[in-house]
């Protein structure tokens, strides 16, 4: 089987690390694995030497927005993870948030606007309206993409223009979100058996800082607690919310919900990832370990399911 | 089959390599708290993540300073390597002298003679690239808090070394003729008023990285005199000196004064992967430098030194440098043509007469570091300017390298960059030219992509 990693997204480096880690874990479980850096030879390779199944360890861009998934579906190659159409929905943060909010899940109030709107309507007036509605501090992030690339906490109105310019360098549309104080958590959902299940929540303690790119990928800068230091009722609500979000967005096999448990104890969903990071500092492997499971065995089970699934369709 | 969910005891951990052990011990102290303060800047960064994309062939990377090795006679070198192992393997594969192979040190003196340096091989210390020489020199000169003077902008790898030893960098500006003597005097005067004597001036006099300028010959002795009058040592870093396009070779600062610490390299004139560089130092510095080198690596690799030595004695290395230089000149011309053709109004750049780099100033308001993701999306990469300053300046500048991509790729890269700048300017027109902080967090650890 093949692990797809790398590619040309901004998250290439993270993806290569995820791919290496995942491939090693699968090999330890006795699976014969190839690692493929995705480039223009992908389709030819898949046609001439098709693997039994593919695991997508791509982050950002084509690997998460459904493009690679659509190509795999086109070629009838079984793969672990969410189908193309649902990927597209989950990948676009404003779309996913609207679906979650529509179904009654809490997600921080937000507005997503493309550059053209600011240009057409006057930037300052729109920025003022955003701040008036969402308050300060607020989060600015590209509407697509992960690893917190381009994400910023804006604490003062005067910082908005510069933050917008930085954010728009990643994507043409910016998602502004109310900043929620509370306990930052990530909940992994897996479907490796008859029942979809949520793994223990990982609590992210950024120690007063922001869980930004540097904090995510510099080992030791952030403390993690798994299970999260939250009461049983909250833990149960987190699990229910993650399962509900997974089902609602039509996700498959594995996902990770990032959320904040706010000061009132509500679970505020920030986003749901179809291709969670699997690096040495990533949250999914921590949850897997805390659940007493093995990463390689988990993914080999998911691979078996993907192959079985393809036989029935 | 699903695995049973039989949770082990909860853990509080940082997921570093020792995460499991830390978890078992119930320790929640992040590993970062055990690191030395000097490693504070050695963290993951978005910029480094973006450079991972720049290594892909789809991206025109104008970021890296990788020499163009296409012109090397690989077959001849292969034969040389085979012969070296067959005939001298017992020596080449063994430990050697901490100071370096004596025959090579003699040859290094011949190379330096091209720039007017008369040196004794005993004063040459071979290092693993001149980067190591720079690291060792900083190690033996600088205590935490000591001040080092450097041109502004300066080589990112030097700033990384200075940061690693917790030295404070004070930049001195350049003009089109290099470091400005009056500004150097002014900097020294104002530091002296605070009771501070910098440990040394770090300078790249020829075809500067990243600024591309060359220190005017008439300024060279003046710079040395100014430093001498304030008791400040001079560290001359000269990896590009033999790569001039006009056929002119400039006299090294070291040719005027034996007190200068001179750093040289075969990375640009032969092969960067061999990692052979050197320091030529005054006798008073030499012994300490050799001991520092010994503690770092025991000895530089005998194998690569002996290969360089054979190359210098059996091959026409001067002709090879000429071949390199012609290729770089062609690439420089392609870049200058493309810049003039494509870039929007408000951009300015220098015309380098050698070396690898063009230093570009973009229109007011554009932050080249913030713009980099847009560039990577457009499949072009550059080195943003702030990395070349220790004090956060350089946000309006970027470095373009023309050394590696062939001319048509350079043209395409600049065309893409122009599109990126236009798009960024469009966003800036919408949001105004946002005020950005004038100072940043200083240099990041040196990246292999910005040598």
* Residue of B7, B426, B440 best to disrupt the A interface, most CBs of A under 10 A: B7
Answer whether A303's CB lies under 8 Å from A80's CB.
yes
| Among chain B residues, CA nearest to A127 | B431
**What region does A258 belong to: left with phi over 0, alpha with psi -120 to 50, or beta?**
beta
The answer to whether the CB atoms of A214 and B7 lie below 8 A apart is no
Average pLDDT of the segment spanning B322-327? 95
Distance from CA of B349 to the nearest CA of A (A): 23
Per the document, the length of chain B is: 451
Q: What is the dihedral of CA A54, A60, A64, A67, to 10 degrees?
A: -90
Burial class (CB in 10 A: 0-12, 13-18, 19+), B56: middle
CA distance A139 to A135: 10
Burial class (CB in 10 A: 0-12, 13-18, 19+), B196: middle
* Residue of B21, B29, B429, B434 best to disrupt the A interface, most CBs of A under 10 A: B434
Distances (CA, A) of A285 to A243, A255, A281, B414: 18, 12, 8, 42
Q: Which fold has domain B89-314?
A: 3.40.640
Answer whether B373's CB lies under 8 Å from B24's CB.
no
CATH code given to domain A110-178: 3.30.1490.20
% of chain B with per-residue pLDDT over 70: 88
pLDDT(B232) > 90: yes
Which pLDDT belongs to residue B314? 94
The pLDDT-based confidence of B5 (bands split at 50, 70, 90) is low
Task: Give the range among A144-158, B20-34, B84-98 with minimum mean pLDDT.
Answer: B20-34
Which chain B positions have a beta carbon within 8 Å of A280's beta carbon? 15-17
Task: Give the range among A104-118, B45-59, B105-119, B183-197 with minimum mean pLDDT.
Answer: B45-59
Which pLDDT belongs to residue B8? 55
Please give the full DSSP string across B222-257, using - where no structure is assigned: HHHHHHHHTT-EEEEE-SSTT-BSSS--PPPGGGT-
Question: Mean pLDDT for chain B?
Answer: 90
Under DSSP, the state recorded for B273 is G
Answer whether A93's CB lies under 8 Å from A112's CB.
yes
**Residues of A labelled catalytic:** 11, 147, 217, 256, 258, 271, 273, 277
Average pLDDT of the segment spanning B12-33? 49
Which pLDDT belongs to residue B6? 53
Residue of B417, B444, B293 lying closest to B362 (CA atoms): B417
CB contact B364 to A (< 8 Å): no
Q: Which fold has domain A89-105+181-310?
A: D-amino Acid Aminotransferase; Chain A, domain 1 (3.30.470)
Peptide bond into A11 cis (omega under 30): no
pLDDT(B47) > 80: no
Which pLDDT belongs to residue B436? 55
The answer to whether the CB atoms of B10 and A8 lie below 8 A apart is no
Average pLDDT of the segment spanning B423-428? 96
Which chain A positions have a beta carbon within 8 Å of B436's beta carbon? 162
Q: Which residues touch A125 (CB under 8 Å, ≥6 apart)?
A: none
Q: What are A288's two structure tokens?
A: 């897997």
CB contact A308 to B (< 8 Å): no
CA distance B259 to B281: 7
Which pLDDT belongs to residue B48? 74
Give per-residue pLDDT as tens, B79-107: 999 999 999 999 999 999 999 999 999 99
Q: Give the closest of B8, B46, B50 to A292, CB-based.
A: B8
The pLDDT-based confidence of B422 (bands split at 50, 70, 90) is very high
Which pLDDT belongs to residue A280? 84
Q: Give the closest of A150, A285, A301 to B373, CB-based.
A: A150
Give per-residue pLDDT as tens, B356-373: 999 999 999 999 999 999
Average pLDDT of the segment spanning A84-88? 96
* Residue of B10, B373, B423, B436 best to disrupt the A interface, most CBs of A under 10 A: B373
Please give the full DSSP string across A182-211, using - where no structure is assigned: EEEEEEEEE-SSSS-EEPPPEEEE-TTS--
Q: Give the closest of B7, B45, B427 to A291, CB-based.
A: B7
Top mean pLDDT of A87-91, A150-154, B83-87 is at B83-87
> What separation, in Å, do the N-terminal and C-terminal C-alpha atoms of chain B show?
50
Task: Give the range among A307-311, B148-152, B281-285, B401-405 with minimum mean pLDDT.
Answer: A307-311
| CATH number 3.60.150.10 given to B46-71+320-431 | no
Which chain A positions have a beta carbon within 8 Å of B424's beta carbon? 165, 169
Which pLDDT belongs to residue B31? 66
Task: Give the range among B6-10, B114-118, B197-201, B389-393 with minimum mean pLDDT.
Answer: B6-10
pLDDT(B328) > 60: yes
Q: How far is CA B38 from the centre of its chain?
A: 20
Residue of A69, A14, A75 lying closest to A253 (CA atoms): A69
Domain boundaries, chain A: 2-81, 89-105+181-310, 110-178
Three-class HEC string of A168-189: HCCCCEEEEEECCCEEEEEEEE
Average pLDDT of the segment spanning A286-313? 92
Average pLDDT of the segment spanning A120-126? 95
Task: Give the range among A222-226, B236-240, B328-332, B425-429 with minimum mean pLDDT.
Answer: A222-226
pLDDT(B179) > 80: yes
The pLDDT-based confidence of B451 (bands split at 50, 70, 90) is very low
Which pLDDT belongs to residue B16? 42
- In this prediction the pTM is 0.89
User: Which ipTM score applies to this complex?
Assistant: 0.89
Distances (CA, A) of B371 to A68, A160, B422: 27, 16, 11
Which DSSP helix (H) or strand (E) runs through A300? Answer: helix A295-311
Please give the full DSSP string across B342-388, using - where no structure is assigned: HPPTT-EE---SBSSEEEEE--TT--HHHHHHHHHHTTEE-EEGGGG
- Residue tagged 């001040």 (tokens): B147
pLDDT(B29) > 60: no
Q: What are phi and psi of B257, to 5 degrees?
A: -150, 130
CB < 8 Å from B in window 109-138 of A: 115, 118-119, 123
CB < 8 Å from A in window 21-80 of B: 28, 30-33, 35, 43-46, 48-50, 52-53, 56, 58-59
pLDDT(B35) > 90: no
Give per-residue pLDDT as tens, A14-47: 899 999 999 999 999 999 999 999 999 999 999 9
Domain boundaries, chain B: 46-71+320-431, 89-314
Provide the CB-side half-sphere exposure for A24 (13 A, CA). 10
Average pLDDT of the segment spanning A230-236? 96
Q: How far is CA A141 from the centre of its chain?
A: 14
| CATH number 1.20.140.10 given to A2-81 | no
Under DSSP, the state recorded for A38 is -
Which pLDDT belongs to residue B159? 94
Give per-residue pLDDT as tens, B132-144: 999 999 999 999 9
Which pLDDT belongs to residue A211? 76
């Amino acid at each position: 089987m093949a692990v797809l990693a790398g590619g040309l997204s901004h998250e290439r480096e993270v993806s290569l690390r995820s791919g290496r880690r995942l491939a090693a874990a699968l090999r330890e479980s006795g699976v014969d694995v190839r690692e493929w850096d995705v480039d223009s030879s992908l389709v030819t390779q898949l046609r001439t030497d098709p693997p039994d199944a593919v695991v997508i360890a791509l982050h950002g861009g084509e690997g998460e927005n459904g493009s690679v998934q659509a190509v795999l579906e086109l070629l009838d190659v079984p793969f672990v993870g969410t189908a193309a159409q649902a990927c597209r929905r989950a990948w676009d943060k404003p779309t996913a948030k609207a679906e979650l909010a529509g179904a009654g899940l809490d997600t921080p109030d937000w507005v997503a606007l493309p550059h053209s709107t600011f240009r057409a309507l006057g930037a300052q007036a729109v920025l003022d309206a955003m701040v008036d509605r969402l308050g300060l501090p607020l989060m600015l992030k590209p509407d697509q993409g992960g690893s917190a690339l381009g994400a910023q906490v804006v604490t003062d109105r005067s910082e908005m223009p510069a933050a917008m310019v930085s954010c728009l360098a990643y994507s043409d549309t910016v998602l502004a979100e109310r900043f929620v104080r509370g306990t930052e958590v990530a909940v992994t959902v897996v479907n490796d058996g008859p029942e979809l299940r949520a793994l223990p929540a990982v609590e992210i303690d950024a120690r007063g800082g922001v869980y930004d790119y540097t904090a995510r990928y510099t080992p030791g800068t952030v403390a993690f607690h798994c299970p999260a230091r939250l009461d049983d009722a909250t833990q149960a609500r987190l699990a229910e919310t993650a399962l509900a979000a997974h089902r609602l967005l039509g996700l498959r096999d594995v996902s990770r919900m990032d959320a904040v448990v706010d000061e009132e104890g509500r679970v505020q969903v920030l986003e749901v990832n179809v291709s969670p990071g699997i690096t040495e500092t990533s949250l999914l492997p921590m949850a897997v370990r805390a659940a007493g499971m093995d990463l390689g065995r988990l993914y080999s089970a998911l691979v078996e399911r993907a192959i079985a699934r393809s036989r029935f369709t | 089959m699903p695995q049973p969910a039989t949770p082990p005891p909860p853990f509080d951990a940082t997921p570093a390599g020792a995460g499991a052990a830390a978890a078992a011990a119930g320790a929640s102290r992040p590993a970062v708290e055990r690191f030395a303060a000097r490693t504070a800047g050695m963290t993951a960064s978005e910029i480094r993540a973006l450079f991972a994309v720049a290594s892909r062939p789809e991206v025109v990377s104008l970021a890296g300073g990788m020499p163009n090795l296409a012109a090397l006679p690989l077959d001849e070198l292969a034969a040389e390597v085979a012969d070296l192992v067959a005939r001298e393997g017992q020596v080449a594969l063994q430990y050697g002298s901490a100071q370096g192979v004596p025959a090579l040190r003699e040859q290094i003196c011949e190379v330096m003679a091209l720039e007017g340096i008369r040196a004794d091989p005993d004063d040459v210390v071979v290092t693993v690239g001149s980067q190591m020489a720079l690291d060792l020199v900083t190690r033996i000169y600088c205590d935490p808090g000591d001040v080092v003077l450097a041109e502004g902008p300066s080589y990112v790898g030097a700033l990384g070394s200075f940061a690693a030893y917790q030295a404070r960098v004070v930049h001195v500006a350049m003009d089109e003729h290099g470091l400005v003597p009056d500004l150097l005097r002014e900097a020294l005067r104002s530091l002296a008023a605070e009771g501070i004597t910098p440990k040394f001036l770090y300078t790249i006099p020829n075809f500067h990285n990243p600024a591309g300028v060359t220190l005017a010959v008439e300024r060279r002795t003046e710079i040395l005199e100014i430093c001498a009058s304030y008791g400040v040592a001079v560290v001359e870093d000269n990896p590009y000196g033999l790569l001039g396009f006009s056929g002119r070779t400039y006299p090294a600062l070291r040719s005027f004064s034996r007190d200068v610490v001179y750093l040289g390299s075969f990375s640009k004139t032969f092969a960067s992967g061999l990692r052979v560089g050197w320091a030529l130092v005054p006798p008073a510095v030499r012994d300490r430098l050799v001991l520092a080198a010994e503690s770092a690596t025991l000895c530089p690799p005998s194998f690569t030194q002996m290969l360089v030595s054979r190359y210098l004695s059996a091959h026409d290395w001067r002709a090879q440098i000429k071949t390199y230089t012609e290729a770089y000149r062609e690439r420089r011309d392609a870049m200058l043509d493309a810049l003039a053709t494509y870039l929007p109004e408000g951009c300015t750049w220098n015309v380098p007469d050698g070396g690898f780099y063009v230093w570009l100033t973009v229109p007011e308001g554009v932050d080249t570091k913030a713009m980099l993701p847009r560039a990577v999306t457009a499949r072009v990469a550059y080195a943003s300017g702030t990395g070349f300053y220790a004090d956060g300046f350089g946000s309006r500048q970027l470095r373009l390298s023309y050394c590696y991509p062939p001319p048509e790729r350079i043209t395409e890269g600049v065309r893409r960059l122009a599109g990126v700048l236009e798009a960024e300017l469009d966003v800036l027109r919408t949001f105004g030219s946002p005020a950005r902080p004038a100072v940043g967090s200083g240099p990041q650890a040196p990246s292999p992509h910005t040598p």
